[in-house]
């Protein structure tokens, strides 16, 4: 559903413009609300409302008696905010999420199938450069059928 990589800059009010391709997807699926939360590797995850509900059920079903599940859910859900884009397609990045992702001004927004990710430009460059060389070996490990 979400694919590609786009560079944007936060405006003076800490808003970013959601890429036009992604806004089209929201319109096609009649989605107005979506959720931003702490992601892995110091990025932010952005889910359309229906996908958020799927993720929420999945994580809610983890037993609260499991210490790791409690820790994960506390960090993940305490960082979640519901957002609705304005008429120009901008969304506000709350300061605590901006700090978590180490976003200063320039961001990279990437599509990762069921979600968008928002990265500081520096963090994304570092992640991409550090892991591009292992792309083929990752594919081999993850996509090879086990018999």
Which pLDDT value is given to residue 23? 82
Cα 113 from Cα 101, distance rounded (Å) = 20
Which domains occur in the chain, in start order? Answer: 2-121 (3.40.1550.20)
Residue 10 and residue 105 in contact, taking contact as beta carbons nearer than 8 Å: yes
- Say what percent of the chain tops pLDDT 90: 77
- The predicted-structure confidence for 41-61, as pLDDT tens digits, reads as follows 999 999 988 999 999 999 989
- pTM summary value: 0.91
**114 exposure class (CB count in 10 Å sphere: 0-12, 13-18, 19+):** middle
């Amino acid at each position: 559903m979400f694919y590609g990589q786009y560079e944007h800059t936060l405006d003076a009010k800490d808003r970013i413009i959601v890429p036009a391709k992604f806004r089209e997807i929201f319109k096609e699926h009649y989605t107005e609300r979506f959720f931003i939360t702490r992601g892995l590797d110091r990025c932010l995850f952005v889910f359309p409302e229906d996908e958020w509900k799927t993720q929420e059920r999945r994580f809610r079903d983890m037993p609260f008696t499991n210490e790791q599940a409690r820790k994960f859910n506390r960090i993940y859900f305490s960082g979640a905010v519901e957002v609705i884009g304005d008429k120009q397609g901008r969304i506000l990045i709350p300061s605590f999420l901006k700090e978590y992702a180490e976003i200063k001004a320039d961001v990279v927004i990437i599509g990762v199938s069921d979600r968008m990710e928002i990265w500081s430009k520096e963090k994304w460059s570092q992640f991409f450069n550090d892991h591009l060389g292992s792309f083929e070996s990752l594919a081999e490990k993850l996509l090879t059928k086990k018999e």
